[in-house]
Structure 1
Amino acid sequence: MSETTAGVLGRALPPLFWAFISAWGSGCIADPEVAGKVTVSRDGEELVIDTGGNGTKAVDVSDDVSGMCIVRKQGELSVTVAKDGEALSFFDVMHQADSPHASARIDGELYQGACEIIVQEQQGDPYEADVAAGPCDLVRLFDGAKARLETAVFHVSDCSGAE
């Protein structure tokens, strides 16, 4: 992995972590609606997290898939989905102007990559958007093993704010 990729990922992950902790600690996390589907391939295997209805159903507390979105500040949005017990158990896209990236946890290992992410705000509301990413490569940091984000498409609304 190049030093540039490692630097981009190193700068990108801490802001997401602190935004989540800040929002959680201040009690301002609402119940965002997250609907979508992500497909990652690794070694010829297709791995999917689907919120339901081929990505059209928003997750709720009774689902086995969870989802969250955070708007850190104007133009910076993170969308996360997770499903315990699956090979692809976690996926996150973080749209930041200087370092858009995606992260996936596959078989307990973290893969990350700098990916183009497209965010289309709905009706001028920064807390509601259509989000798309892929295709792009995701790399396991310590040994360079690769996975490929084929596609990630989400519709989010009522995202939490963490400014």
Structure 2
Amino acid sequence: MSEQQATTSARALLSLLGVAVCTSASGCIAHPEVSGKVIIRREGEELVLDTGSNGTRVVDASGEVAGGCIVRNQSELSVTVQKEGAAFSFFDLMDQTGLPHVSAEIDGKLYQGACEIIVQEQRGDPYEADVTAGPCDIIRNFDGSKARLVTTTFHVSDCSGAD
């Protein structure tokens, strides 16, 4: 998969996560709540993607930062945050059993890496958690340029479920 295809796929996932799902039988599923902050260091520069108020503001449809989360099989969690027009514009982490990894788009280029992700379920609810990752190295696809994921801290709730 090319870098452009990977970026397009990641953005499509974000769009799917941001839409409320409604059915006549069950009503609407709440929009996932995501708040947090990601810090990446690249070539001596610190890049920050923040949902607002130092990572405490929950993203919503009217804000400049979009976000979403999904829980698969009540054990795998994905969290995505995007801010259009920023140098550091996209971040996704996937706590997938045996394959935890992160992706970041910086200056239109995709960086990826295998990073330890810690998910602390809240109140026994698999759809609400505090999620942290880092520090770890992430690599730009195709040329091997490195950046450092310094820290990631998210609080998510009402994550969509998928089996």
8 A contact 1:41–1:149 mirrored in 2: yes
The number of residue pairs the alignment matches comes to 150
Alignment of 1:75-114 (within 5 A): 75-114=75-114
**Is 1:156 the equivalent of 2:146?**
no
Report the equivalent of 1:37: 37
Larger RCO (CA under 8 A, 6+ residues apart): 1
Which residue is equivalent to 2:66? 66
Match of 2:5 in 1: none
Corresponding residue of 2:143: 143
**In 2, Cα distance between equivalents of 1:19 and 1:65:** 15
Q: Deviations over 1:80-129 (max 9, x none)?
A: 11101111000011001110001000000000000000000001101000
Fraction of identical pairs, as percent: 66
CA contact (8 A) 1:22 1:162 kept: no
Runs ≥4 in structure 1, deviation > 2 angstroms?
Answer: 16-30
Q: Structure 2 vs 1, CA of residues 134 and 91 (structure 1 numbering), >3 Å: closer, same or farther?
A: same
User: Does the C-alpha gap of structure 1 residues 53 and 147 become closer, same or farther in structure 2, counting only changes over 3 Å?
Assistant: same
Q: Given the superposition, is the C-alpha separation of residues 25 and 42 from structure 1 closer, same or farther in structure 2, using an over 3 Å criterion? A: closer
**Where does the alignment leave 5 or more consecutive residues of structure 1 unmatched?**
1-15
**2-structure distance, mates of 1:63, 1:26:** 16
Extract unaligned runs of 5+ from structure 2.
1-9, 23-28
Q: What is the identity, as a one-letter code, of the residue corresponding to 2:113?
A: G
**Aligned-pair distance for 1:30?**
3.8
1:61 to partner: Cα distance = 1.4
TM-score when normalising by structure 1: 0.83
Per the normalisation by structure 2, the TM-score is 0.83
